[in-house]
Amino acid sequence: AGLGLLAWGFVRLRTQQLNAQALALEQEVANRTADYERVNAELKSANEELKLAAVTDALTGLRNRRFMQEQLGTLLSGINRRLRDPEQASKVCALILIDIDHFKQVNDTFGHERGDQVLVETARALESAARGEDYLLRWGGEEFVLVIPEIEPQYLRLVHERIHGAMAPVGEQCELGRAITLSMGIITLPWLKEKVDQREWEHSLEIADLGLYAVKAKGRNGSAMITVTTALQTHEDWSP
């Protein structure tokens, strides 16, 4: 009987030890799993921040060219999809190239820090004029791009007025003693109600740039709306 009690006591003690070890192991696994999940979440967050930083202009907080390149496939698909829908075919995508007038004079007269302030305040003004679904980009230097994915063409004049109106207080906000104005070149896609691709997008940027410089040549502070004609399209078809 004594041996039986001793054996039973040993088995009970061993069982308790094993249970304790199992609980400790489970806790260790849970701790390591929690650590792994925490580290994984931190890495995921860091990666998301890096991705966001790669497509964001550091000064203004606007998206940059790389962001537009990543979104271009979606944008062009939307344009082409509307072409196949009779109820949507009248809508266009507007590409607006924007340049701050006399920006070099701001830097030369007031310094680059004040120039940066002008860029930031211009970005805020453009944001106030844009819609949530639009793409507003810092294109480089004192140039910005506003892409309106979907709009009826007759409303583009209102966009022009809204943007120029939003700029009215910028000169005062930056304490320059004069207004800050914009020159803009505007073009719409698709051309001639035909399917668009990246080549047409790139040519549209070039044409909008020509419109912008036409405004500059006429005294700045305005917009040029470029309409693509059959003759221009034929010319573009000759290019390599």
Cβ proximity of 149 and 134 under 8 Å: yes
Residue with tokens 């020509």: 210
Q: Which of 224, 92, 202, 204 is nearest to 148 (CA)?
A: 92
Three-state SS at 225 = strand
Catalytic residue among 49, 113, 133, 142: 142
Cβ proximity of 163 and 182 under 8 Å: yes
CA dist 168 and 124 (Å) reads 12
Q: Which of 148, 110, 129, 125 is nearest to 60 (CA)?
A: 125
142 is catalytic: yes
CA dist 77 and 136 (Å) reads 19
Cα–Cα distances in angstroms (integers) from residue 105 to residues 19, 70, 114, 125, in the given order: 79, 34, 11, 20
The widest CA-to-CA distance across the chain, in whole angstroms, is: 114
CA dist 68 and 147 (Å) reads 9
CA dist 199 and 206 (Å) reads 11
Cβ proximity of 135 and 61 under 8 Å: no
Cβ proximity of 148 and 134 under 8 Å: yes
Q: Which residues does the annotation mark as catalytic?
A: 142
